[in-house]
Structures are given as C-alpha cells and as structure tokens.
Amino acid sequence: MLMMMLLLLVGVVAVKTGIVDAETNRRLSRFAIVIPQSAIILSSAFNLQMEMTPGKVLGVIGVAFLMYALLTLLGLAVPALARAKEPDRGVFSFLILFGNVAYMGFPLVQALFGSDAVFYAALLNIPFNLLAYTLGVRLIGGSGAGGKMSWRQLVNPPMVASVLAVIIIFLPVKWPGPLVEATSALGDMILPLSMIIIGTSLGEMKLKDVLGDWRVYAVAPVRLLVAPVLLWAAMGLFVKDTLLLNVITLVGATPSAAMAAMMAIQYGRSERLASQGVFITTVLSMATIPLVCWLLL
C-alpha cells in the first residue's frame, strides 16, 4: 500500500506540474479500462491453474450476485437511517455500494493472490457491471429522465473480457506463448497506471472542495470497514473456498468507485459530494485496506 501511495503521488505531482492535464487524464482513464484492465482479465484465464467447471463458474457468479445483494442492502439502509435527503441519498448509496474494482480491486487482487484470484474477481465483476449501469444510474440520476438506465453501457470492455475469459478456460486450445506473454505484460500495467490516474484525478481537485462535507467522513467507514467485515462474516458462512472469500473481502474493502463522480457530473446531481466521497475513501483506504487484510485475510 505504501508503494501504491507513492504511485498515486506521482499522479498528483504530474498534474500539479502540468505534465498531465484533464484531457490527458480522461484519455488515460479510457485506455486503462479498455486495454490493461481487459488484458489482466484475459491473462487470468490464460494462466489459470485451478480446475474450473461450468458449474463452478455459475456458482461463483451466483455468489457474486449475493455479495452485491448484501452491499445493496447496506448501501440503501445507511443513508435511509441517517435520513439523508435526495439527491444526496442516492449518491451516498452509490458510494457505499460500488467499490473501485477497476483501478484498485484488480491490481490488489493480482498483487496479493495472483492470476487465479483475478479470474474470480472477473466473475465478481459481472454483477458489478449489471448493477452499476442500471441501479447505480437510478440512484444518482433519480427516477426522472436524468436517471434513465444505460443499457448500452453494459457492453463495456471489462464485461466483454470477463465473458471471453470464461470462454477461454473451456476451449481445448493451447494458446501461443507470445499472445499469453503480451496479454500478461499489458495486464501488469494496471497497477502503476491506475494509481497514477487516481493521483491525477485527486490532483485536479482543490483541497477545500474535497474536505468540506463532514457527512463523507460518516460514509467512509461504512464503505471501507463495515462492508468488508459484513461480506467476510456473511459470505464466510457458506463460501468454503478461502481464495474466493479473500477476493470477496478485498473487493469489499476498496474505496468508492470513481464512476460515482463521473455519473454525478453526467446527471447534474451532487457532483461535489460524489467527488468528496471518492477522494476521502481513496485516501483513507491506504490505511484501512492493510487493516482489513491483517484482521481478516
């Protein structure tokens, strides 16, 4: 995590010194999602060591839907109990429900547990995509025209890569070495690139704009500590695969998804609050993720 913090600071310095601007960061973000993130998912299938059957794949996807059902209940209940008002309530729910799997989840899983775990993370990412672009849009955009569900966005590169990864592991094909190595090399880019992108995004924000709302500090512990503990305790009752349970817990410990701020901008709903939530949870996660790993994994 210290190494990741240093990479994040590289991004902050890059934007503060003018090496990277907002447009460059936007293009880097798009590149990271389309190429390295998709590559790390495909690489996990090429390098998979554990035995997988169609039944096991479906079982993991079923576990993933249950995982997000629990997070949905948590994300809806906490803002309601706190009597948050619209449109802020939807933003708070989104910040709790959706973690930054793209930029932190996959790199962390790869670094700590290897390619087999990344394949699990790819399967867990299927309901993430389904919910983020349906329920997530409704939460931030509201029930009016602004919250129209983006069905086309479900067909995105990580989603396609996750489906292809499932197909790859069942094809009786010996894949060419250069293809496997190139895919692995591209996937290895995701950790430094994602941290730099997060750093540049944070570096574009003014400090007074991201530290102003005390409510974000109430949401952050729910996302960073309550969510992973809930998942570890509840899912551990029936998930006997230790690696899968570790991946679920680690994904649950990631900070709020950066797409919260992007969607808030798109639909004109509590943009500053969403940006504050992403910023605060990302910074605090540098301390909470090692704590979760030490206590639970």
Q: What is the pTM of this model?
A: 0.86
What is the rounded distance in angstroms from the CA atom of residue 76 to the CA atom of residue 203?
30
Q: What is the dihedral of CA 271, 273, 279, 284, to 10 degrees?
A: -160
Per-residue pLDDT of the chain (297 residues; tens, 9 = 90+): 778 788 888 988 998 888 888 788 778 877 887 888 889 889 999 988 888 899 999 999 999 999 999 999 999 998 887 777 777 888 999 999 999 887 888 889 988 998 899 999 999 988 998 888 888 888 887 765 455 555 666 777 888 888 899 999 988 888 899 999 999 999 888 888 888 887 887 777 776 666 667 888 888 999 999 999 999 999 999 999 999 999 999 999 999 988 887 777 777 777 778 878 888 898 899 899 999 999 998
Domain encompassing residue 183: 2-296
User: Which of the 8 DSSP states describes residue 154?
Assistant: G
10 Å Cβ neighbour count for 117? 22
Query: Whose structure tokens read 């849009």?
Result: 137
Residue 238: CATH number of its domain: 1.20.1530.20
Q: What are phi and psi of 197, to 5 degrees?
A: -65, -45
Q: How many domains does the chain have?
A: 1
Half-sphere exposure of 126 (CA within 13 A, CB side): 22
**Residue 56 carries which side chain, given as an amino acid letter?**
K
